[in-house]
């Protein structure tokens, strides 16, 4: 293999991506759309079961807007592992075309094949969708009021080790290379998103997390770029931490209360947000927003639990995470009152009142019963 040629091609692809970022338009304004199209992607395993419950709740909250045709729901079929493996694509072409006709998406879990399992080793549908729709900001809130935890993570979602994650090179049997890519405009836009969020939500501190003491060139660029953006927000304090000590500080009961908004390159963000979600009850309770300038996608961050489907238990799967993602979707398209009601009902139904509980088995409630409980609770708010 001609490595210099291969490297040259990778560099070209990234130069093109940077050019596109620089040319991109500003954020879409949902208020200016006649109809906001919400695409529902069931995904794999328990995905269709839980996603359909979240959809029922959204339809309930947006009843008026649906009648006025200000909102339209579209079911996007075919984003399943069987289909993806069959055409050997992370997202089949026809599915991607349908997705691109929507404005925002609610997405159930999609299976990411691992080397050696029964599926063709296609790229993760999550990663592909983030790249295809340029969903550069992965926003993950974690709140545990009784512990004084109120964090919002801004994980960069298109660069770092993920940009060329499936294009590493095996030089020979002994040496393998992967590539880490950080760009100035790619970092500027995530940093701006985080600082804007802080400014608009009464937060006065933003923390940048890197390993710039060791990974000097790429993480160094990430940190320097964030520092420059911070100059535009003099009312907000910026500090920076290395990922190793940051991981430790999240379990430091005193120190962790001080963190508010965090900005991280993709991989550190992936890891730290799983740790953070654990304080809130695990990844199953967290929702995740993937935001770009034209599209936005909201998802559950747990897996597809194929075993639950094999055992016929998908109707008992917990839809909390995808419902929480639905609340983030509502907020994003400007229905913040409905979002607030939904979050309040979620809190009542899963913590403070908890008339029924989901166990994942037939001794617990079904996802449908839980969704009904949520809607009944909303009616009483
Ligand atoms: C996440 C997931 C994905 C990621 C996987 C499924 C590719 O862990 O959304 O955090 O690494 O981004
Ligand atoms: Mg993850």
Residue 285 lies in a domain: no
Rg (CA), the chain: 21
Structural domain for 118, as ranges? 24-135+292-381
Q: Do 249 and 148 fall into the same domain?
A: yes
| Ligand nearest to the backbone CA of 275 | 2
Q: Last residue of some domain: 253, 280, 307? A: 280
pLDDT exceeding 70 applies to what percent of the chain? 100
Q: Do 259 and 350 fall into the same domain?
A: no
Residue 8 lies in a domain: no
Question: What is the rounded CA–CA span in Å between residue 137 and residue 159?
Answer: 11
pLDDT digits (tens, 9 = 90+) for 274-324: 999 999 888 777 889 999 999 999 998 788 999 999 999 999 999 999 999
CA angle 11, 162, 83 (to 5 degrees): 110
Residue 286 lies in a domain: no
CA of 288, closest atom in ligand 1: 9
Q: Is 289 helix (H, G, I), strand (E, B) or coil?
A: strand
- The single-letter DSSP state of residue 181 is B
Q: Do 87 and 155 fall into the same domain?
A: no
Spatial contact of 272 and 220, defined as CB atoms under 8 Å apart: no
Q: Do 160 and 276 fall into the same domain?
A: yes
Q: What's the rounded mean pLDDT across residues 15-29? A: 95
Q: Do 76 and 188 fall into the same domain?
A: no
Q: Is 352 helix (H, G, I), strand (E, B) or coil?
A: helix
Q: Do 267 and 163 fall into the same domain?
A: yes
Q: Last residue of some domain: 249, 280, 311? A: 280
DSSP string covering 44-112, please? STTHHHHHHHHHHHHHHHTHHHHHTTSEEEEEE---SHHHHHHHT-SS-HHHHHHHHT-SEEEE-----
State the virtual CA torsion across 350, 352, 356, 362 in degrees, nearest 10.
50
Mean pLDDT, the chain, whole residue set: 95
Whether residue 1 is predicted with pLDDT greater than 80 in this model: the reply is no
Question: What is the rounded CA–CA span in Å between residue 209 and residue 269?
Answer: 9
Domain holding 236: CATH number? Answer: 3.40.718.10
- pLDDT score of 47: 96
pLDDT exceeding 90 applies to what percent of the chain? 89
Q: At what angle do helices 367-380 and 47-61 cross, to 10 degrees?
A: 20
- pLDDT score of 188: 98
- pLDDT score of 187: 98
Alpha carbon nearest to ligand 1 atom 9, residue: 301
CA of 126, closest atom in ligand 1: 7
Q: Is 218 helix (H, G, I), strand (E, B) or coil?
A: helix
Q: Ligand 1 center to residue 156 CA distance, Å?
A: 12
Alpha carbon nearest to ligand 1 atom 11, residue: 270
Q: Ligand 1 center to residue 141 CA distance, Å?
A: 16
Q: Ligand 2 center to residue 302 CA distance, Å?
A: 8
- pLDDT score of 220: 98
Alpha carbon nearest to ligand 1 atom 3, residue: 126
Q: Do 130 and 40 fall into the same domain?
A: yes
Residue 105 lies in a domain: yes
Residue 250 lies in a domain: yes
Token couple for 274: 């799983």
| Ligand nearest to the backbone CA of 127 | 1
Whether residue 180 is predicted with pLDDT greater than 90 in this model: the reply is yes
Most informative mutation of 121, 124, 126 for ligand 1 (most atoms within 8 A of CB): 126
Q: Do 173 and 268 fall into the same domain?
A: yes
- pLDDT score of 116: 82
Q: Ligand 1: residues within 6 Å at CB?
A: 112, 124, 126-127, 270, 301
Alpha carbon nearest to ligand 1 atom 10, residue: 270
Q: Do 46 and 102 fall into the same domain?
A: yes
Q: Which residue has the tokens 């079929």?
A: 77
Spatial contact of 41 and 107, defined as CB atoms under 8 Å apart: yes
Q: Ligand 1 center to residue 126 CA distance, Å?
A: 7
Q: Do 145 and 272 fall into the same domain?
A: yes
Residue 352 lies in a domain: yes
Q: Do 157 and 258 fall into the same domain?
A: yes
- pLDDT score of 2: 85
Q: Ligand 1 center to residue 272 CA distance, Å?
A: 12
CA of 127, closest atom in ligand 1: 7
Q: Ligand 2 center to residue 376 CA distance, Å?
A: 33
pLDDT digits (tens, 9 = 90+) for 323-355: 999 999 999 999 999 999 999 999 999 889 999
Most informative mutation of 112, 128, 140, 274 for ligand 1 (most atoms within 8 A of CB): 112
pLDDT digits (tens, 9 = 90+) for 127-179: 899 999 999 999 999 999 999 999 999 999 999 999 999 899 999 999 999 99
> How many separate domains does the chain show?
2
Token couple for 279: 């304080």
Q: Ligand 1 center to residue 270 CA distance, Å?
A: 6
| Ligand nearest to the backbone CA of 125 | 1
Q: Ligand 2 center to residue 188 CA distance, Å?
A: 23
Spatial contact of 300 and 50, defined as CB atoms under 8 Å apart: yes
CB neighbours (10 Å) of residue 379? 10
pLDDT digits (tens, 9 = 90+) for 30-64: 999 999 999 999 999 999 999 999 999 999 999 99
Detail the DSSP E strand segments found in the chain. Answer: 36-41, 71-76, 104-107, 137-144, 149-156, 169-170, 176-177, 205-210, 237-242, 261-264, 287-291, 296-300
Q: Ligand 2 center to residue 201 CA distance, Å?
A: 25
- pLDDT score of 114: 82
Find all residues with CB under 8 Å of 279, minimum gap 6, and list them.
Answer: 142, 144, 147, 149, 250
Residue 11 lies in a domain: no
Alpha carbon nearest to ligand 1 atom 8, residue: 270
CA of 124, closest atom in ligand 1: 7
Q: Do 129 and 217 fall into the same domain?
A: no
């Amino acid at each position: 293999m001609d490595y210099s040629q291969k490297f040259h091609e990778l560099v070209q692809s990234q130069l093109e991506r940077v050019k596109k970022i620089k040319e991109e338009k500003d954020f879409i304004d949902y208020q200016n759309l006649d109809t906001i199209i919400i695409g529902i992607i069931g995904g794999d395993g328990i995905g269709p079961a839980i996603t359909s419950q979240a959809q029922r709740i959204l339809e309930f909250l947006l009843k008026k807007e649906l009648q006025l045709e200000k909102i339209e729901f579209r079911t996007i079929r075919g984003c399943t592992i069987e289909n993806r493996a069959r055409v050997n694509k992370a997202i089949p072409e026809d599915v991607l075309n349908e997705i691109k006709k929507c404005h925002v998406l609610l997405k159930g879990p999609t299976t990411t094949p691992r080397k050696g399992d029964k599926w063709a080793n296609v790229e993760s549908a999550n990663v592909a969708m983030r790249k295809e729709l340029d969903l550069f900001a992965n926003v993950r809130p974690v709140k545990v009021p009784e512990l004084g935890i109120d964090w919002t993570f801004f994980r960069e979602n298109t660069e770092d080790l993920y940009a060329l994650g499936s294009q590493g090179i095996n030089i020979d049997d002994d040496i393998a290379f992967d590539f880490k890519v950080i760009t100035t405009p790619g970092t500027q836009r995530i940093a701006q998103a985080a600082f804007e969020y802080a400014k608009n939500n009464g937060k006065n501190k933003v923390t940048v997390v890197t390993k710039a003491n060791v990974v000097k060139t790429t993480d160094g660029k990430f940190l320097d770029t964030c520092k420059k953006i911070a100059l535009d927000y003099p009312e907000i304090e910026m500090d920076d931490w290395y990922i190793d000590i940051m991981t430790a500080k999240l379990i430091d009961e005193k120190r962790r209360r001080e963190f508010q908004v965090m900005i991280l390159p993709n991989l550190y963000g992936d890891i730290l947000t799983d740790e953070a979600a654990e304080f809130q009850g695990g990844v199953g309770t967290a929702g995740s927003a993937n935001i770009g300038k034209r599209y936005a996608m909201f998802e559950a961050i747990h897996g597809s639990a194929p075993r639950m489907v094999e055992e016929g238990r998908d109707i008992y799967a917990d839809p909390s995470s995808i419902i929480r993602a639905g609340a983030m979707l509502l907020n994003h398209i400007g229905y913040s009152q409905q979002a607030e009601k939904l979050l309040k009902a979620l809190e009542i139904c899963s913590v403070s009142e908890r008339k029924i509980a989901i166990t994942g088995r037939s001794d617990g409630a079904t996802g449908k019963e839980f969704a009904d409980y949520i809607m009944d609770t909303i009616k009483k708010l």
